[in-house]
Amino acid sequence: MFTADQTQSLQKNTLTWLENSSSVSPDNISDIRDVLRFHEHRYYVLNDPLISDAEYDMIFKKLELFEKNHPESITKDSPTQRVGAALIKDFPKRQHLVPMLSLENSYDENDLRDWDRKVKEGSGLDEVEYTLEPKFDGASISLIYEDDMLLRGVTRGDGETGDDITPNVFQIRSIPLSAGFSKYNIQQIEIRGEILMSKSSFKKYNEGLMEEGLPPLANPRNAAAGSLRIKDPKIVAQRNLEGFLYHVSFIQSDEQKQETTIKTHHDMLNMLWNLGFRSPKNELRCLKGIDAVIREINEFESKRDDLPYEIDGMVIKVNNLDLQDKLGMTAHHPRWAMAFKFKARQATTKLLDVEFQVGRTGAVTPVAKLEPVGVGGVTVSSISIHNQDYIKEKDLKIGDRVLIERSGDVIPQIVKSLSEWRTGAEKEISFPSTCPVCNEQLFKPENEAVWRCVNAGCSAQVVEKIIHFASKDAMDIRSLGEANVRKFYSLGLLKSIPAIYELKEEDLRGLEGFGSKSIQNLLDAIEKSKQQPLHRLIYALGIRYVGETTAKTLAQHIHQITDLAQKDIESLQQIEDVGTKVANSIYEFFRHHDNLEMISQLKTLGLKLEAEPQSNSSGHLGGSTFLFTGTLNKLKRSEAEAMVEGAGGKLVSGVSSKLNYLVAGEDAGSKLEKAKKISSIKIISEEEFLSMLSASL
């Protein structure tokens, strides 16, 4: 999208816009917009930002302020137009310029060879050049640009007509609001692609739902599709959706100046990429003959889990666009493309029964017991079905056949019941009114979907708290899994969390399955856990609404666990991502005598309750490499270097691809120039360096 020269001048302009004295005027307004677009592209398309979020915001605010005072200057594609959109009343129906067809599916080598034979027959060639790219597992979208401007974004719908979700598409930062199609003499273009939620955004989103006591979504595809239908674009913006564009279905161009350089699918993806779209240009493989395609597919499938987003297969396309035209379409799909589906991570099975489990917060959760079934490499025999609302929404009955899915590293979920298979013998799922463990009356707080046992002494809650404390993502006490916790609890050896650290060899000797070796392993694992980092301990305490992500954020803001007890609700809320609900819950937790007593016991028993001193490569800078150049204003060079090492970073002496951050002070010279040519190096200012360090405190 940006040539080297443009990049250089936009970088230079960025520095001018970062100066306090620079201000927007009608003469330079397009310049500031270009600078903002440039940084959006670096961040959202290339994943390689050159400035900090705070710096972006500072430039953005300048533009926003000017536009507020001069509304006549606002253009539809101004970067400010992504924010502040009004609520959507409804999604009008729109007809696609060209119907959105689906792809034919293949599942093995034979299917592909059959297809290759047909393509060769249809084209009269002995060998065909194919392209191979990921089959993105998201929600499909069709975008129309007219005279370089994004006119609308439409969902697939029934293939002929979809829903106009343009205000929501404006929230997806990797989709340009305007692009220079006129350079290619294109007046109108319809582009197809997929909207995705990355695995990490999905995990975080689901964590948030569960912390709220809401059921998680089954997969990132549903999360993306659901997000696109939200009627508040501001919420859509928070979902961090991403767009991959992989197909052009329609082009209206100036006949006389017809662009002829685009002859292949590869060229088309390059064109989209050069115009600033996130096309799968870097993921694309061009391959001669079907054997090469088959080899590459196997290669890709083995790397499926390493990708930051979900794919459910690969798409093979005939590279040459004239040949694509020649092969044409059937009523349902193009003959020039084929989807290859990876092994399913979905399966169907029978819902045999529902049991009710009491969690560590007293929540009573229905758990579906399933006929064991293999999915995505593991056998699944039970799945949480969360609460009554969820059961109603999914229309689940005992005896139903259900579709289940295990998506990436997410816990398996029921996607839906397959009511078509019902015989009439299925039974409604009925909820108990008393705790299945301690028999206490259950209680359902208003506005919550969950029934709770409020008896703090309920043995189920105590056991679950210990299980959570020792679990892999918390204190990670390897030999103290669920079964052992239950066993030790029932034997009276383990009645509380601190009691873990009081277990002795003689308590365990003679227990079935515990030889001296396994006893030693267990005691070693317990001892080792005393040194777990603070964020794990915070998470392990099981404070309501404090998931792994929140625990990490909290740990970055305190020196020791008791600092949390000192904070009032207001100061807790000042920590990023901590809202009223989380702040209240943390505050309440530290007001309970039992919890304070437990923390003090853990301290006496030798647990490390302080944050890591940041003096090695496990520090905040995590082994990243730094080099300073030019004159620093606030720090002496030696001070700055000591700070890097103190925070776990490393210093290097020259500019090379091994360098992660170049801190450029005033009058930086050749090192800066050299670093600009290596795209993996992040060039930061002294201020940004300081804010990176302060984020670690």
Q: Catalytic residue positions?
A: 135
The amino acid at 321: L
Q: Determine the interface stretch with ligand IVH among 101-109, 319-327, 385-393, 533-541 (rule: CB under 6 A).
A: 101-109
What sign for the dihedral angle of Cα 347, 351, 357, 363?
positive
Q: Which of 519, 530, 468, 459 is nearest to 491 (CA)?
A: 459
Binding marks (x or -) toward ligand IVH, 356..395, rule CB under 6 A?
----------------------------------------
Q: Determine the interface stretch with ligand IVH among 11-19, 96-104, 630-638, 671-679 (rule: CB under 6 A).
A: 96-104
Report the distance separating Cα 412 and Cα 372, nearest Å. 13
Report the distance separating Cα 100 and Cα 27, nearest Å. 43
User: Could you give phi then psi for residue 421, rounded to 5 degrees?
Assistant: -90, 0
* Per CB under 6 A, 103 contacts ligand IVH: yes
527: its two tokens: 């001892």
Shortest distance, CB of residue 337 to ligand IVH, whole angstroms?
Answer: 5
* Per CB under 6 A, 337 contacts ligand IVH: yes
Report the distance separating Cα 182 and Cα 491, nearest Å. 77
Shortest distance, CB of residue 259 to ligand IVH, whole angstroms?
Answer: 21
* Closer Cβ to ligand IVH, 224 or 354, answer by number: 224
Could you tell me which residues come within 8 angstroms of residue 587 by beta carbon, excluding any fewer than 6 positions away? 567, 568, 569, 572
* Per CB under 6 A, 400 contacts ligand IVH: no
* Per CB under 6 A, 136 contacts ligand IVH: yes
Report the distance separating Cα 389 and Cα 278, nearest Å. 38
Shortest distance, CB of residue 322 to ligand IVH, whole angstroms?
Answer: 16
Q: Which burial class, exposed, middle or buried, applies to 95 when counting CB atoms under 10 A from its CB (0-12, 13-18, 19+)? A: exposed
Shortest distance, CB of residue 268 to ligand IVH, whole angstroms?
Answer: 11
Kindly tell me which residue out of 23, 47, 95, 102 binds ligand IVH, with binding defined by CB under 6 A.
102
Shortest distance, CB of residue 157 to ligand IVH, whole angstroms?
Answer: 12
* Per CB under 6 A, 192 contacts ligand IVH: yes
Q: Which of 668, 678, 686, 689 is nearest to 12 (CA)?
A: 668
* Closer Cβ to ligand IVH, 337 or 370, answer by number: 337
Shortest distance, CB of residue 470 to ligand IVH, whole angstroms?
Answer: 41
Q: Which residues pair with 401 in a beta bridge?
A: 350
The residue number whose beta carbon is nearest to ligand IVH equals 140
Kindly tell me which residue out of 194, 310, 464, 686 binds ligand IVH, with binding defined by CB under 6 A.
194
Q: Determine the interface stretch with ligand IVH among 67-75, 198-206, 290-298, 331-339 (rule: CB under 6 A).
A: 331-339
Distance of CA 235 to the CA centre of its chain: 16
Kindly tell me which residue out of 18, 97, 339, 373 binds ligand IVH, with binding defined by CB under 6 A.
339
Shortest distance, CB of residue 341 to ligand IVH, whole angstroms?
Answer: 9
- DSSP-based helix, strand, coil % in the chain, nearest 5: 40, 20, 40
* Per CB under 6 A, 140 contacts ligand IVH: yes
Q: Which of 619, 609, 620, 621 is nearest to 652 (CA)?
A: 621
* Interface positions, 223-262, toward ligand IVH (CB under 6 A): 246-247
Q: Determine the interface stretch with ligand IVH among 133-141, 604-612, 625-633, 686-694 (rule: CB under 6 A).
A: 133-141
Shortest distance, CB of residue 94 to ligand IVH, whole angstroms?
Answer: 17
Helix 4-18, helix 53-69: angle, nearest 10: 70
- 153 with 221: CB under 8 angstroms? no
* Closer Cβ to ligand IVH, 192 or 535, answer by number: 192
DSSP state of 412: P
Kindly tell me which residue out of 82, 94, 135, 620 binds ligand IVH, with binding defined by CB under 6 A.
135
Report the distance separating Cα 10 and Cα 130, nearest Å. 37
* Per CB under 6 A, 148 contacts ligand IVH: no
Shortest distance, CB of residue 123 to ligand IVH, whole angstroms?
Answer: 18
* Per CB under 6 A, 222 contacts ligand IVH: no
What sign for the dihedral angle of Cα 84, 90, 93, 99?
positive
* Closer Cβ to ligand IVH, 318 or 534, answer by number: 318
* Per CB under 6 A, 315 contacts ligand IVH: yes
Length of the chain: 697
Rg, the chain, Cα only: 29
Q: Which burial class, exposed, middle or buried, applies to 175 when counting CB atoms under 10 A from its CB (0-12, 13-18, 19+)? A: buried
Q: Determine the interface stretch with ligand IVH among 130-138, 354-362, 400-408, 449-457 (rule: CB under 6 A).
A: 130-138
Binding residues (CB under 6 A) for ligand IVH: these are 101-103, 133, 135-136, 140, 192, 194, 246-247, 315, 334, 337, 339
